[in-house]
């Protein structure tokens, strides 16, 4: 089975309708190139206020699964026959989350993943002000185009995130992202390591452009990329263009290679107890 994946990257403004129309144009472009799973960036419908503002009125931007961002992407996925993991600011009763909705090729929402690791805190990043820690655990979804695992941005720095999705059978690891700082090489290297360690292709979709608020500003540096199962960069975007990147993978060939390497066969879960602690002390038996 051949899987064709894509990442999009674009600028966002405070105009949600304009953002969604731009995202649709890029997704349609990716689909025209044969992409079956298409990953937009983190918070594709909104200005990324979590880096720049601390304002109660921003909670009004949160939406449910029946909100305009997910509905727009459902219609698009159904029209194109593609899988779209869309990231949005979710309101669920009195809780708020940074969430991926996994939209299948028929437009159905297969389920959600809520971001497990929430970064920072004032100054510089205000995401903890707006969202709670995710409560879904890491998710892998059986889609029309393979088994897809999608975490979110800060999750990408944690090898446990990628390993759990790989253990659950993910054919591809996806990370919608919003990042702009001086750590690009580190960012890419860490995620390429996830792909190589799990012998599983990986897609990272980042934003481009400058976004500002009352308390700061960020220049998102793009460079979205697609890595192969040995961690090699297959495709990479530049640092400023609104664009798509597309790559093909032979899933059967990769599965055979993964089995042959034996990295999952030789795992020793009985020796990994310290991972379940904060300080590395083995839990009492």
Indicate if 22 belongs to the active site. no
Determine the Cα–Cα distance for residues 227 and 216; give it in Å rounded to an integer.
32
- Are 166 and 174 in contact by the 8 Å Cβ rule? The answer is no
Pairing of strands 2-9, 37-39: parallel
From the list 90, 153, 211, 247, the catalytic residue is 153
Ramachandran category for residue 102: left, alpha or beta (phi over 0 → left; psi -120 to 50 → alpha): beta
Any catalytic annotation for residue 42? yes
- Tell me if 36 sits within 8 A of 3, measured CB to CB: yes
Q: Which of 115, 127, 211, 247 is catalytic?
A: 115
Catalytic residue among 12, 22, 24, 42: 42
Per-residue DSSP letters for 127-189? Answer: HHHH-PPP-S-S-EEEETTEEEEE--GGGGG-HHHHHHHHHTT-SEEEEE----SS-HHHHHH
Give catalytic residue positions: 42, 115, 153
């Amino acid at each position: 089975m051949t899987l064709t994946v894509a990442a999009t990257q674009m600028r966002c403004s405070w105009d949600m309708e304009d953002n969604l129309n731009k995202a649709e144009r890029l997704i349609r472009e990716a689909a025209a190139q044969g992409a079956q799973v298409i990953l937009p960036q983190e918070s594709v419908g909104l200005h990324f206020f979590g880096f720049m503002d601390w304002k109660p009125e921003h909670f009004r931007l949160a939406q449910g699964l029946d909100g305009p961002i997910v509905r727009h992407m459902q219609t698009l996925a159904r029209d194109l026959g593609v899988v779209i993991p869309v990231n949005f600011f979710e309101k669920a009763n009195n809780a708020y989350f940074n969430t991926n909705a996994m939209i299948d090729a028929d437009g159905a929402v297969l389920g959600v993943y809520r971001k497990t690791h929430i970064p920072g805190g004032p100054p510089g990043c205000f995401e903890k002000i707006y969202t709670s820690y995710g409560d879904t655990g890491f998710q892998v979804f059986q889609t029309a185009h393979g088994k897809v695992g999608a975490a979110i941005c800060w999750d990408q720095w944690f090898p446990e995130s990628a390993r759990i999705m790989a253990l659950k059978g993910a054919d591809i690891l996806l990370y919608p992202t919003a990042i702009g700082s001086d750590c690009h090489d580190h960012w890419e290297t860490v995620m390429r390591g996830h792909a190589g360690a799990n012998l599983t292709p990986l897609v990272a979709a980042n934003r481009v452009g400058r976004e500002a608020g009352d308390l700061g500003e960020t220049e998102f540096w793009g460079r979205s990329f697609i890595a192969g199962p040995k961690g090699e960069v297959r495709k990479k975007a530049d640092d400023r263009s609104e664009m798509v990147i597309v790559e093909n993978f032979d899933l059967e060939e990769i599965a055979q290679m993964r089995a042959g390497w034996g990295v999952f066969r030789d795992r020793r879960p009985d020796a990994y107890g310290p991972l379940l602690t904060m300080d590395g002390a083995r839990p009492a038996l």
